[in-house]
Structure 1
């Protein structure tokens, strides 16, 4: 996806055991991807790569904040991010075939001859998975501090007089 070396990890020279990487993700990161449903992203990704013999365990911890549009009143709504994701990367002779056959989305295969791991797509995916499907000011009362009062009033009138 046109990502620079910033999101490549050269794992060949790493000793077995855990190795930590930290990434600061802003809106600029997402320009190579499709249009997003959020803006003003200030995410922090902590990646712990635990190198083993023949495979690696990757733990992504997503934190930070971004801004979404409320599904009910269309106002800007700040949203805190926090989530954890784990990927197992296995080194095999035929990674394309193995990835096609693998049913577990948390297992990924790379060729034994590869030396770098590209993590940008996983960062993109995990930030998007950290955003709830329903984004609203206050789901029950619709009276959160960011709720648009004009829209709230109109929705209340429609509810009373359908």
Structure 2
């Protein structure tokens, strides 16, 4: 993972671009195995100033994951951005996700953790296959779910709606119309 370590001491002040192709081997380093296939391009723009460094990370691509409802694999689109400021201080501090403090005398910064977190946090909490949402996915699991859903007849629903209305509400509704 040496390509994610940026030695900033030899760089001139100004803007510097770093491009990365992220695949499954990147996530093997973090022992994260929820992705079947990964195709993500990441860009890190470093703006070196006299007293600080500013990073702007951008990711774009696809990860192949399993649907939470049907367990069918599909490609989930991933896009995200993150801004990081690197300052220098007495000791290392990474408690804030937007501010990194490196000890004086540091000559390089490692950005792989920030790219990893950006990718993971850019995914939706609930992963649903696009075919489920538009009704085009044919799956055994979906058929079984449809079969097992409770059936409500129209007579049952109309009887329940009549019973649920409290007669006191009718009296209150008259107040609105009696003006």
TM-score, normalised by the number of residues in structure 1: 0.85
Matches of 1:142 and 1:74 in 2, distance apart? 17
* Structure 2: runs of 5+ lacking an equivalent: 153-179
- Summarize the alignment of residues 1-162 of structure 1 with structure 2, pairs less than 5 Å apart: 3=1, 5-96=2-93, 99=94, 102=95, 104-138=96-130, 141=133, 143-144=135-136, 147-161=137-151
Matches of 2:24 and 2:51 in 1, distance apart? 35
* Structure 1: runs of 5+ lacking an equivalent: none
What SS class does the counterpart of residue 3 from structure 2 fall into? helix
More helix by share: 2
What SS class does the counterpart of residue 124 from structure 2 fall into? coil
Higher relative contact order (CA 8 A, sep 6+): 1
Count of residues in correspondence between the two structures: 152
Question: What CA RMSD, in Å, does the superposition of the two structures yield over aligned residues?
Answer: 2.0
Q: Is this contact kept in 2: 1:87–1:107, CA < 8 A?
A: yes
Q: 1:109 to 1:139 in 2, by over 3 A?
A: farther
What SS class does the counterpart of residue 94 from structure 1 fall into? coil
TM-score, normalised by the number of residues in structure 2: 0.77
